[in-house]
Amino acid sequence: MSTLHEEITSRKTFAIISHPDAGKTTLTEKLLYFGGAIREAGTVKGKKNTKQATSDWMEIERQRGISVTSSVLEFHYNGHHINILDTPGHEDFSEDTYRTLTAADSATMLIDAAKGVEDQTEKLFKVCSMRGIPIFTFINKMDREVRDPFELMEEMEDVLGIRSYPMNWPIGMGQNFYGIYDRHSKKVELFNPDNPSDVEVKEVSGPQDPVLDELVDPSFLSQFREEMELLDVAGDPYDEDKIFRGELTPVFFGSAISNFGVQNFLEHFLYFAPSPVGRQSDQGFVEPVQDLFSGFIFKIQANMNPKHRDRIAFMRITSGKYTQGMTVNHPRLNKSMRLAQPTQFLARDRSIVEEAYAGDIIGLFDPGTFRIGDTLAGKGNFQFAEMPHFSPEQFAAISVKDAMKHKSFEKGTQQLTEEGLIQLFQTYNRYPEQQIIGVVGGLQFEVLEHRLKNEYNSDIRLEHLPLSIARWVSGDEKELETFRNKQRNLAVDRDNKLVALFENEFQMNMAKDKYPNLVFHENSFTD
C-alpha cells in the first residue's frame, strides 16, 4: 500500500492555458526538455529547418504552426511523474479544450507580459475556476519590452477576479532585463542575453544585499528595491491554503523562448501543485489512493495513425493502479472488458503501458465502444459525474459533394462527433431534412473539412448559418407540442433530444417569454 501511495502522490497532472501566441507550446517544449523527454526544444515558428513542436502532431498543426487538438505529454523530473495536458490556445478552439481541463488537477496560466490577460485565457480560466483547482501563472517574454508587472497583476484581479503572489520578481525588462529574484529561496538568477541557457545563480540575503550592487545598473536596482518594498508592504501575503483552493495564484516571471525562469517555475510548481485528486460518483466520492481501479474517458481521437485508421479513447485514471491486461466494468454498457494494450504518449509517439496509477492518462484502443464521459472500474457499477458540456456558438449546414462518398462521409461525421470535434444536429419538422454542425470556435469548420478530406476521402459543402445559440428544450408536454409545431429553427441532437437554434439572445428571450413553462438548457443533460 505504501508503494501505491508513493506512486500516486508522485503524480502531477496539469493543463497549460493561454491565448494564441503567448508561448504555450514553447513553454511545454522547455518543460519536456528539462524532463529529458526530448533532446532539443523545438519552437513553433521560424525557418523551414526549425524543429517542429513535439506536442503538435496533427498535419494541419504542423502546416499552420498552431495547436488544434489537446495533446497528452508525460515525463519524469526529480522523482515526480508529470502529465501535461497541452490544450490548444488558438482563437477558435473547440469543446475538446474545455473537456481536457476536467482531467487536470491544476493549471498553468501563461500570460504574454506585453499583452496581459487576453480573451481565450479568460475563457479557459473560468473553466478552471469553476472547478476550484490551483492555478499557477507564468508571465512570459520578459526579455522584450513589456508592461509594468504591478499593472499585469492588477489586470489579473480586475479581469479574472484572482489575487496573486509573485514567487519571483523581474529585475528590469527587455534590453535591460537582468534576471529574476526568487523571493522564497532568496537567490538571483542572472539573465545572459548572449547565452540565455547559461544561468548564473547568486545566493543573497535579500533585495538589499550589496552583492546586487555589483551585478545590476544602479537605476534598475533602485527601482527593483522599491518594488520589493511595495510588495512586502502592500502585496498579498503568502497563503498555501488559498493557493490550493484556487483563490491565490503564485506568479513567476521569465522567458520561455530563452529558456529562462522555466526551471525555477518547474521546481516551485512541483512543490506546490497537488497530487491527484478524487472525483464525485453517483455512489460517493472516489479517493485516488485505494486498491480500486477507476477512470473516465475525457477525450476520443480518431486517426492518430493515418496508416491504421485507429481510434484512441483517452482515460484519466482516478483511483488505484492499472496493470496490463486487467478486466474492468463498463457501467454504461453493463459489461466487462479487458484492457489489452493501453498506451502512453509523447504526442504522436506512443508506448505500451504495463502499469499506471491514479493521475496518469492512458490511451485505449476504441472499436466504437467508448463515449466521452464513460466510467471504467475494476469492480462495481458506479459512474462519475457527467462531463461538462458547452453550447456551440457557430453553425453550418453540411453535405457531401459526391453522393458516392456518402457512406464514408456519414462514418466520418459520426466519428468526429463522438470525438467531440463537432456537435451534429438534424433539422426537425423540415423537408428535406438537413444536417447541421455546431462548433465552439470557427476554426473547427476548417479542421473538420481537412480531416474529412484527408482521413475519410470526403469533400464537403459547408453553408454557414446566421445562428449563434443552441438550447436544449424540455418542460410542459402540451406547451412543448405547440413549440414543436410553431417554432422556427428546431433540430434534434444525436440522442434525439430537441434543440432550439437562435440567431441571437433577443430571439431566445422572446421564446422564453412566449413559452414560460418550457426550460431552455445550455447543455444536453436536461435530466
Classify strands 518-521 and 469-475 as parallel, antiparallel or unpaired.
antiparallel
Residues 6+ apart with CB under 8 A from 352: 324, 341, 342, 343
DSSP-based three-state secondary structure for 61? helix
pLDDT above 80: residue 29:
yes
> Which residue, chain included where needed, has cell 517574454?
141
Q: Cα separation of 115 and 191, whole Å?
A: 22
Q: Which of 344, 335, 343 is nearest to 375 (CA)?
A: 335
Would 78 be classed as within a structural domain?
A: no
Q: How confident is the model at residue 85 (pLDDT cuts 50, 70, 90)?
A: confident
Axis-axis angle for helices 443-456, 406-419 (nearest 10): 130
Would 100 be classed as within a structural domain?
A: no
Last residue of a domain, one of 272, 291, 306: 272
Query: 12 near 105, Cβ under 8 Å?
Result: yes
Q: What is the DSSP secondary-structure string of 346-405? A: ETTEEEE-SEEETT-EEEEE-SS---TT-EEESSS---BPPPP-----EEEEEEES-GGG
pLDDT at 388: 64
Are both 111 and 226 inside the same structural domain?
yes
Would 400 be classed as within a structural domain?
A: yes
Residue 23 labelled as part of a binding site = yes
Q: How confident is the model at residue 404 (pLDDT cuts 50, 70, 90)?
A: very high
Are both 201 and 327 inside the same structural domain?
no
Which CATH number fits the domain that encloses residue 297?
2.40.30.10
Would 190 be classed as within a structural domain?
A: yes
Q: Cα separation of 54 and 43, whole Å?
A: 9
Q: Cα separation of 523 and 391, whole Å?
A: 6
pLDDT above 90: residue 241:
yes
Are both 23 and 141 inside the same structural domain?
yes
Cβ atoms within 10 Å, residue 280: 10
Q: Which of 11, 233, 225, 19 is nearest to 112 (CA)?
A: 19
pLDDT above 50: residue 41:
no
Residue 20 labelled as part of a binding site = yes
Q: How confident is the model at residue 274 (pLDDT cuts 50, 70, 90)?
A: very high
Q: Cα separation of 353 and 340, whole Å?
A: 10
Q: What is the pLDDT of residues 214-232, one digit of tens each?
A: 989 999 999 999 999 999 9
Are both 305 and 209 inside the same structural domain?
no
Are both 62 and 115 inside the same structural domain?
yes
Interval 255-264 mean pLDDT: 92
Are both 18 and 149 inside the same structural domain?
yes
Q: How confident is the model at residue 269 (pLDDT cuts 50, 70, 90)?
A: very high
The region of weakest confidence among 88-102, 322-336, 373-387, 479-493 is 88-102
State phi, psi for 359 to the nearest 5 degrees: 105, -25
What's the number of CA atoms in the CB half-sphere (13 Å) around residue 156? 28
Are both 228 and 304 inside the same structural domain?
no
Higher pLDDT, 268 or 301: 268
Are both 47 and 127 inside the same structural domain?
yes
Which CATH number fits the domain that encloses residue 433?
3.30.70.3280
Higher pLDDT, 258 or 2: 258
Residue 97 labelled as part of a binding site = no
Are both 304 and 233 inside the same structural domain?
no
Residue 512 labelled as part of a binding site = no
pLDDT above 80: residue 75:
yes
- List Cα–Cα distances, 77 to 36, 45, 73, 356, in angstroms: 8, 27, 13, 17
Cβ atoms within 10 Å, residue 93: 25
Query: 107 near 121, Cβ under 8 Å?
Result: no
Q: Cα separation of 289 and 298, whole Å?
A: 21
Are both 259 and 196 inside the same structural domain?
yes
Are both 39 and 188 inside the same structural domain?
yes
Quote the number of domains for the chain.
3
Last residue of a domain, one of 333, 349, 377: 377
Residue 24 labelled as part of a binding site = yes
Residue 86 labelled as part of a binding site = yes
pLDDT at 38: 54
Would 292 be classed as within a structural domain?
A: yes
Q: How confident is the model at residue 305 (pLDDT cuts 50, 70, 90)?
A: low
Last residue of a domain, one of 210, 245, 272: 272
Would 74 be classed as within a structural domain?
A: no
Residue 25 labelled as part of a binding site = yes
Q: How confident is the model at residue 88 (pLDDT cuts 50, 70, 90)?
A: low
Higher pLDDT, 523 or 264: 264
pLDDT above 80: residue 81:
yes
Higher pLDDT, 90 or 417: 417
**Is the link from the previous residue into 170 a cis peptide, with omega within 30 of 0?**
no
DSSP-based three-state secondary structure for 416? helix
Q: How confident is the model at residue 119 (pLDDT cuts 50, 70, 90)?
A: confident
Would 72 be classed as within a structural domain?
A: no
Q: Indicate the burial class of 427 (C-beta count within 10 angstroms; 0-12, 13-18, 19 or more).
A: middle
Averaged pLDDT of the chain: 85
Residue type, position 511, single letter: A
pLDDT at 39: 45
Residues 6+ apart with CB under 8 A from 514: none
> Which residue, chain included where needed, has cell 522547455?
30
Query: Which domain does 344 fall in, by range?
Result: 279-377
Q: What is the pLDDT of residues 442-496, one digit of tens each?
A: 878 988 998 899 889 999 999 999 999 999 999 999 999 999 999 999 999 988 9
Higher pLDDT, 388 or 203: 203
Interval 124-147 mean pLDDT: 90
Residue 142 labelled as part of a binding site = yes
Residue 2 labelled as part of a binding site = no
Higher pLDDT, 313 or 398: 398
Residue type, position 149, single letter: P
Residue 89 labelled as part of a binding site = yes
pLDDT at 65: 38
Are both 268 and 284 inside the same structural domain?
no
Which CATH number fits the domain that encloses residue 216?
3.40.50.300
The DSSP output letter for 156 is I
- List Cα–Cα distances, 475 to 498, 512, 514, in angstroms: 11, 12, 13
Q: How confident is the model at residue 525 (pLDDT cuts 50, 70, 90)?
A: low
Q: What is the pLDDT of residues 307-357, one digit of tens each?
A: 545 677 889 999 999 988 899 999 999 999 998 767 655 444 556 778 889
Q: Cα separation of 179 and 92, whole Å?
A: 35
Q: Cα separation of 30 and 279, whole Å?
A: 31
Query: 268 near 250, Cβ under 8 Å?
Result: yes
Would 327 be classed as within a structural domain?
A: yes
Residue 22 labelled as part of a binding site = yes
